[in-house]
Structure 1
Amino acid sequence: MSRRLCVIGVGLIGGSAARRARGLFGEIIGVDADSDNLEQAEALGVIDRGCDHPEQGAETADFVLIATPVGAIEPLFRGLQPVWRSDCVYTDVGSTKGNVIEAARRVFGKVPGNFIPGHPIAGAERSGVEAADSGLFEGKRVILTPLPDSAPEALARVEEFWTYLGAKVEQMEAGRHDEVLAATSHLPHVLAFTLARMLGRKDEQAEIFRYAAGGFRDFTRIASSDPRMWLDICRANREPLLQLLGEYETALREVAALIRSDDAGRLYACFSEARSAREKFLQLTENNHA
């Protein structure tokens, strides 16, 4: 059993990790900018005690999980730098990895060998410690993006941590991670936010929403996610996301042209191709969970 876990950012991801990791650590310390959320985390038993400042929580820990928005990572590193210890393992949960690695280089001069960048592919539209779920990571993928000089023992401990939480751990190069997540997560969120905003600004929005069915609910579900978090993600992963938005714009124009010209055959082929792609995705997902 490790001695002490420090979770910086006790929201959905950090709180869920703390709940499930209870058997791995003798004590769990929580750090959060929201004092009310921190008090609630302690009242719910998610953490044993809370701290106002990251350096207070991290200085005596032997495992630090950084679960803040990616936009906060550089000032957080600067705050942790004076208490950063070689006998402690550090990892994060950010949805982008290139900016996290660059932030570490700017603060420390290089990425410390005992910092292993990571990203659990799990989440929900809810936020805050009330949403914490000990089963959130069960069967989910966690992508680690270690660097060539990452310490093997630190990597092993981070893998052990996520495996204990029920996740399937994989490794990927950081740039490739950001490209993949831009396509599979960041772009869909931008599209959902955009559609919900567009319809919400119409004068007849009450009527539109009254008659919206499952399709609208399913497509826009992720637009209930935390806007602050997604602002940071879009800024951090700007270039891959802009590339995909350009491709999506082209694809929309193609479909619009088919509808405008009443080209039933090509429009049907377009929808059929999309359905086949979706079925392949579902089959792959089922096989991965088998």
Structure 2
Amino acid sequence: MAATAVFEKVVVFGVGLIGGSFALALKESGQVAEVVGFGRTLGSLTQALELGIVDRAGFNVGQEVSNADLVLIATPVGTTPEIMARIAPCLGPQTVVTDAGSTKEDVVAAARSHFGERLGQFVPAHPIAGAENSGALAARADLYRGKQVVLTPLPESTPQSIARARAAWECCGGLIRELSPAEHDRVFAAVSHLPHLLSFALVHELARRDNRDLLFAFAASGFRDFTRIAASHPEMWRDICLANRTALLDELDRYRAQLDEMRAALQSGDGERLEASFDIARTARRAWGEGGGRS
């Protein structure tokens, strides 16, 4: 630990992949003196302690939050309002709250409902990093290194709060970007939430077939790459899809229209039309990959 850590005390709600990796990254950077963890089960907290993710397990929210420099909410977005309601009466004047939710407008609405005069101490965030595995065992210190972290500050967020949240994510190795909450949700409905929905849908449809064992026996790298994210946490993605359902429904309708176009081309035997679509897609995908994108 550095002689003068940026954060004396950080409280993390949710000590799995996202929250656990945040804690490990701060510890590795030497910029936190103590990390206190809250989890939904004693088992998850015990595991986080054994793995050195947190220094102490938290049991009294008021006691731990009141003198914390930073609080991270890293639980499924459906539980965020409940956590905000619990911590709001306990926030010290110096405590900054950030989150790691994949949706932002619902999180902002919850913050407005619960934080009141403390709203300026909240800085929403979304680290663009993750894995199909979850839980404390999946946490790693380098998860956010070199990855984008989107901050969506509110008009009420104080400059000091924004600076502290930015510093925390930068200590984790994140590259900071800023969007409005609404813009964030539209963007990620297209490039994250829709792909997950499609991946889950394909695997679900195949899993219901009588010959599913035969199908999966012959599935190779293309199927593996396309469906990797279908191994993600079901509860988390249920909450994300519901929280961002307006933007996601719009993206789903756009995708269905694209599928209808391809179906029409197939039905009519229009190979030229199919190839033109494939060529546009290939060019865009290669440009994205060469620009540093990760599949």
| TM-score where L is the length of structure 2 | 0.94
Q: What residue number does 1:141 align with? A: 148
What is the 5 A alignment of 1:265-280? 265-280=272-287
Deviation digits for residues 109-137 of structure 1, max 9, x if unmatched? 46711110000000000100000010000
Deviation at 1:104, TM superposition (A): 1.0
TM-superposed CA distance for 1:267, in Å, is: 1.0
Q: For the structure 1 residues 125 and 161, does the alpha-carbon distance in structure 2 shift closer, same or farther, using more than 3 Å as the test? A: same
Q: Tell me, yes or no, if the aligned pair for 1:31 and 1:57 is still in contact at 8 Å.
A: no
Q: What SS does the aligned partner of 1:112 have? A: helix
C-alpha separation in 2, matches of 1:184 and 1:53: 39
CA distance in 2, matches of 1:47, 1:109: 30
How much has 1:85 moved relative to structure 2? 1.7
Aligned match for 1:221, one of 210, 223, 228 = 228
> 1:51, 1:57 within 8 Å by CA — same for their partners in 2?
yes
- Equivalence for 2:247: 240
> CA 1:110 to 1:277, structure 2 compared with 1: closer, same or farther past 3 Å?
farther
Matched, 1:201 2:211: no
> Can you give the 5+ residue segments of structure 1 that lack an aligned partner in the other structure?
none
Aligned-partner Cα distance in 2 for 1:145–1:170: 9
Cα pair 1:38 1:50 within 8 Å, conserved: yes
Alignment match of 2:115 (pick from 103, 108, 114): 108
Percent of aligned pairs with the same amino acid:
45
Give the structure-1-normalised TM-score.
0.96
Corresponding residue number in structure 2 for 1:172:
179
SS at match of 2:173: coil
What pairs with 1:1-290 in structure 2 (closer than 5 Å)? 1=5, 2-22=7-27, 23-52=30-59, 54-109=61-116, 112-285=119-292
Greater displacement, 226-235 / 147-156: 147-156
Query: Do 1:8 and 1:54's aligned partners in 2 also have CA atoms closer than 8 Å?
Result: no
Per the TM alignment, residue 108 of structure 1 is displaced from its structure 2 partner at its CA by: 2.9
Deviates more, 1:44-53 or 1:70-79: 44-53
C-alpha distance in 1, partners of 2:37/2:63? Answer: 10
- For each residue in 1:41-61, what CA deviation from the matched residue of structure 2 results, as whole angstroms up to 9, or x when unmatched? 101111111024544432331
Quick one: distance in 1 between partners of 2:121 and 2:157? 6
Kept in 1: contact 2:66–2:95 (CA 8 A): no
The size of the alignment, in residue pairs, is 287
In 2, Cα distance between the equivalents of 1:97 and 1:53? 27
CA offsets per residue over residues 117-158 of structure 1, 9 Å max, x none?
Answer: 000000000100000010000100000000122110111111
* Alpha-carbon displacement from aligned partner over 1:209-240 (angstroms, at most 9, x marks no partner): 00001111111000000000001001110100
Deviation per CA, 1:35-92: give whole Å up to 9, x if none.
1010011011111110245444323311111101111111111111220122111100
Distance 1:265 1:63 in 2: 57
- Which amino acid in structure 2 is aligned with residue 74 of structure 1? P
Contact residue 54 and residue 76 of structure 1 kept, 8 A: no
* Aligned-residue CA RMSD (Å): 1.4
